[in-house]
């Protein structure tokens, strides 16, 4: 009983901090999102639906979602491998590599876009190698495939997502790997389990929720990427125009309803993916426990 009274006093003592946290989140996160609702409510639902289902908008949605899914899936695999390497191995410049993972967080999207254009653009060595006149491009043509365009198309968007979303996977998986207990792995090895069996039966079930969460964060970030995409994609309708750039174009055309409607779709897509990954991760944690 004394413990309960002590805990109640501690909870009451923390109410100013909790009130401040809720007020801060409400002011800078929830309120701006709610402010976008009234312009949509004032418009006829048929008009909002027409804006959302416009052919150009649908094409931009599909392109953004597919590029984000491919980039997120690739980063989920290699980002998890990178997180494992940073945690389990000690090697020169490991701390430098660990710090470089956070570079996309700090680097402006425009700067990253310029860097990718310089590396993969048509005038670069890599871009020429994969282009119509390059060695790889010519071999693609011989087998009936188009030359690989590393800027101005789907591949460019995937590369942009790979750059932008890598930290989300690494920083989500890395602490989980660091908290893994080696005893279970040592016990499985002593019983004759192969490295693959140890990974599949001992390690993967414990890090799977973090991996799925990392993919969800990477997808949500990739589908909303603007700074890099606006420079490397080419912004061609029905071919390389992504949703965030399409929203900006609608604003430039004074189509505030269309821009707000597409922005709401972006928000709902990100929220749906995050909620689904969070729900699956919680279910997986309870099942493993």
Domain boundaries of the chain, sorted by first residue: 1-35, 46-288
pTM of the model: 0.84
What integer pLDDT is reported at residue 164 of this predicted model?
92
Contacts of 189 (CB under 8 A, 6+ apart): 198
What integer pLDDT is reported at residue 143 of this predicted model?
79
- For residue 237, pLDDT over 90 is answered with no
When comparing pLDDT for 3 and 114, which is higher?
114
- For residue 4, pLDDT over 50 is answered with no
247: how many CB neighbours lie within 10 A of its CB?
23
Q: What percentage of the chain carries pLDDT values higher than 70?
A: 94
Whether the CB-CB separation of 211 and 139 falls below 8 Å is answered with: no
Domain spanning 46-288, CATH architecture: Orthogonal Bundle (1.10)
What integer pLDDT is reported at residue 72 of this predicted model?
93
- For residue 58, pLDDT over 50 is answered with yes
pLDDT band at 7; cut points 50, 70, 90: low
pLDDT band at 226; cut points 50, 70, 90: confident
Structural tokens at position 210: 């973090």
What integer pLDDT is reported at residue 5 of this predicted model?
53
Report the distance separating Cα 225 and Cα 68, nearest Å: 9
- For residue 259, pLDDT over 50 is answered with yes
Contacts of 8 (CB under 8 A, 6+ apart): none
Rounded to the nearest 5 percent, the helix, strand and coil shares of the chain are 80, 0, 20
- Looking at residue 43, the DSSP 8-state letter turns out to be S
pLDDT band at 9; cut points 50, 70, 90: low
CA count, 13 A, side-chain hemisphere, 111: 6
User: Mean per-residue pLDDT for 220-229?
Assistant: 87
User: Mean per-residue pLDDT for 140-163?
Assistant: 80
- For residue 169, pLDDT over 90 is answered with yes
When comparing pLDDT for 192 and 146, which is higher?
192
Contacts of 263 (CB under 8 A, 6+ apart): 36, 247
What integer pLDDT is reported at residue 17 of this predicted model?
82
């Amino acid at each position: 009983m004394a413990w309960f009274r002590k805990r109640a006093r501690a909870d009451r003592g923390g109410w100013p901090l909790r009130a401040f946290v809720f007020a801060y989140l409400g002011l800078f996160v929830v309120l701006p999102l709610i402010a976008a609702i009234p312009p949509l409510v004032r418009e006829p639902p048929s008009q909002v639906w027409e804006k959302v289902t416009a052919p150009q908008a649908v094409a931009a949605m599909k392109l953004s979602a597919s590029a984000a899914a491919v980039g997120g899936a690739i980063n989920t695999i290699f980002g998890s491998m990178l997180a494992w390497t940073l945690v389990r191995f000690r090697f020169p410049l490991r701390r430098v590599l660990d710090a470089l993972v956070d570079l996309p967080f700090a680097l402006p999207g425009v700067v990253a876009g310029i860097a990718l254009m310089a590396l993969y653009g048509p005038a670069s060595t890599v871009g020429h190698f994969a282009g119509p006149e390059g060695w790889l491009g010519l071999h693609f043509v011989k087998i009936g495939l188009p030359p690989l365009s590393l800027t101005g198309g789907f591949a460019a968007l995937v590369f942009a997502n790979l750059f932008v979303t890598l930290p989300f996977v690494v920083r989500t998986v890395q602490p989980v790997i660091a908290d893994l207990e080696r005893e279970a792995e040592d016990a499985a090895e002593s019983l004759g389990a192969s490295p693959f069996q140890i990974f599949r039966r001992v390690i993967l079930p414990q890090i799977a929720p973090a991996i799925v969460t990392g993919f969800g964060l990477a997808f949500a970030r990739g589908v909303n990427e603007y700074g890099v995409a606006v420079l490397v994609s080419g912004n061609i309708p029905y071919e390389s125009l992504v949703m965030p750039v399409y929203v900006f174009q609608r604003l430039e055309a004074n189509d505030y309803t269309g821009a707000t409607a597409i922005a709401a779709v972006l928000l709902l897509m990100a929220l749906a993916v995050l909620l689904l990954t969070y729900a699956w991760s919680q279910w997986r944690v309870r099942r493993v426990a």
